Amino acid sequence: MQMGEELFSGKAKSVYRTDDPELCILRFRDDTSAFDGEKIEQLADKGKVNNIFNAHIMALLASEGVPTHFVKRLSDTDSLVRKLDMIPVECVVRNYAAGSLCKRYGIEEGISIEPPTFEFFLKNDELHDPMINDSHIISFGWAKPEHIEEMKTLTIKVNSILRQFFLESGMLLVDYKLEFGLSNGELILGDEFSPDGCRIWDKTTRNKMDKDRFRQGLGNVIETYKEVAQRLGIDLN
Ligand code: ADP
Ligand code: UDP
At 190-210, the pLDDT tens digits run 999 999 999 999 999 999 999
Nearest atom, ligand 2, residue 36 CA = 8
pLDDT over 90 (residue 117): yes
At 79, the pLDDT band (50, 70, 90 cuts) reads very high
Is 227 domain-assigned? no
Is 235 domain-assigned? no
Average pLDDT on 58-85 reads 98
Is 141 domain-assigned? yes
pLDDT at 182: 98
- Boundary (domain end) residue, out of 58, 82, 106: 82
27 lines ligand 2 (CB under 6 A): no
213 lines ligand 2 (CB under 6 A): no
pLDDT over 90 (residue 1): no
The CA distance from 167 to 109, in Å, is 19
- The CATH number linked to 116 is 3.30.470.20
Please tell me whether residues 190 and 104 are part of one structural domain.
Answer: yes
Please tell me whether residues 9 and 120 are part of one structural domain.
Answer: no
47 lines ligand 1 (CB under 6 A): no
Please tell me whether residues 93 and 159 are part of one structural domain.
Answer: yes
Nearest atom, ligand 1, residue 123 CA = 3
For ligand 2, the distance from its centroid to the CA atom of residue 83, given in whole angstroms, is 24
Which residues constitute the domain of residue 174?
Answer: 85-219
Ligand 1, atom 2, lies closest to the CA of: 10
Average pLDDT on 104-115 reads 98
Percent of the chain with pLDDT over 90: 98
- Boundary (domain end) residue, out of 52, 82, 112: 82
Please tell me whether residues 89 and 78 are part of one structural domain.
Answer: no
Please tell me whether residues 100 and 35 are part of one structural domain.
Answer: no
- Boundary (domain end) residue, out of 57, 82, 107: 82
Please tell me whether residues 36 and 49 are part of one structural domain.
Answer: yes
Ligand 2, atom 23, lies closest to the CA of: 99
Q: What is the mean pLDDT of the chain?
A: 98
Domain count, the chain: 2
Please tell me whether residues 121 and 70 are part of one structural domain.
Answer: no
Closest ligand to Cα 179: 1
Please tell me whether residues 148 and 49 are part of one structural domain.
Answer: no
- The CATH number linked to 44 is 3.30.200.20
pLDDT at 141: 98
Please tell me whether residues 124 and 30 are part of one structural domain.
Answer: no
Ligand 1, atom 15, lies closest to the CA of: 191
pLDDT at 190: 98
Is 229 domain-assigned? no
Is 150 domain-assigned? yes
pTM, two decimals, is 0.98
Please tell me whether residues 10 and 99 are part of one structural domain.
Answer: no
Please tell me whether residues 73 and 90 are part of one structural domain.
Answer: no
pLDDT at 90: 98
